[in-house]
Amino acid sequence: MARFRLAVRIVPRKGLLDPQGKAVSDALHTLGFESVGSVHVGRYIVIETSADDALAAGESVREMCRKLLANPVTEDFEVESAVPA
Amino acid sequence: MKFGIVTFPGSNCDYDAYHAVTEILGEQAIYLWHKDHDLQNADVVVLPGGFSYGDYLRAGAIARFSPIMQEVAEHAKAGGPVLGVCNGFQILCEAGLLPGALMRNATLQFVSAPVRIRVENADTLFTSLYQKGELLKIPIAHGDGRYFAPPQELDALEADGRVIFRYADASGNISADANPNGSERNIAGIINEQGNVLGMMPHPERACSRLLGSEDGVRLLESILSRVAA
């Protein structure tokens, strides 16, 4: 077993109303960043865990996302590659 | 009849529910600690409002893993009545006992105000003493109350009469202006397929006294009483 660090990005599912993202995008426009199209606000979670290898660590964290970290009805997630912790 | 009111760390409407059951309804109520594994023979389970676990991760996401939720799920499976109000509704959705999810209000603002809701189905365990189409004045107090489910799920809920309450204006119209949080199709409360688990964002337990502005919530509790006792 080895220790790994993995980061998870959780974002509102595409196409769903994202009032937080809209508010940030409006504020950016007000600041003069007129080129900004859309903004989405999500969560970034860093997990340290042990696993046989990086592949297994990734699979375990994806399972965590499906069961707890992301809401399957409203959110999508991406797990970044595992790095040694 | 015995009502079991679950207290999670961060629940803050457990006493309101206790008061409504014992003082207004005149029935027995007990608090159930979230770490326990025993419903103590409660006939009805209430998941009250509040901010369980500080709404960490998502509202209701952590509370659904509280030990007592296993017993609540079994109680629900066996046909026992479960009422989830506000945070309780969020927990029921996170636990998969009700479909869909409650998302951040479209306005991004916490809304604490009396609203009007229309009774869409008066033939349930929780609404039999109301009339279909009746308007109720019940307060809401939430920041994450925007009900969302995919369109086909919403269609199914509507087709099965499982949308129980909708936000309405004073004339009973279901309009965007009357929608306080951007909920899909103005949905304020839904029921499960078996008809024994109700989740709603408005607080009926806070609408049980004229002194507090409305008594419209009383008949929800009395409906449960009349059906379960029968």
Please name the amino acid found at residue A51: A
Examine the residue annotation and report whether B120 is marked as an active-site residue of this protein.
no
Question: How far apart are the C-alpha atoms of B86 and B103, rounded to whole Å?
Answer: 12
Contact yes or no for B51/B171 (Cβ under 8 A) = no
Query: What are the chain A neighbours of B61 within 8 Å (beta carbons)?
Result: 68, 71
Q: Residue B70 is inside which H or E element, if any?
A: helix B68-77
User: Taken in order B130, B141, B1, B24, is the CA torsion positive or negative?
Assistant: negative
- Cβ of A16 within 8 Å of Cβ of B58? The answer is no
Look up the ipTM and state it.
0.84
- Given a cut of 70, is residue B229 above it in pLDDT? no
pTM assigned to the model: 0.93
- Which tens digits make up the pLDDT trace of B169-187? 999 999 999 999 999 999 9
DSSP B163-214: EEEEEE-TTS---STT-SS--GGGEEEEE-TTS-EEEESS-GGGSSBGGGTB
Active site residue B13: no
Calculate what percentage of chain A has a pLDDT beyond 90.
94
Closest by Cβ to B182, choosing from A17, A20, A68: A17
Each residue's pLDDT tens digit, A6-31:
999 999 998 898 999 999 999 999 99
What's the pLDDT at B230? Answer: 55
Residues A40-49, mean pLDDT to the nearest whole number: 96
Which pLDDT tens digit goes with each residue over B117-170? 999 999 999 999 999 999 999 999 999 999 999 999 999 999 999 999 999 999
Stretch A72-80: mean pLDDT, rounded?
95
What DSSP state is assigned to residue B71? H
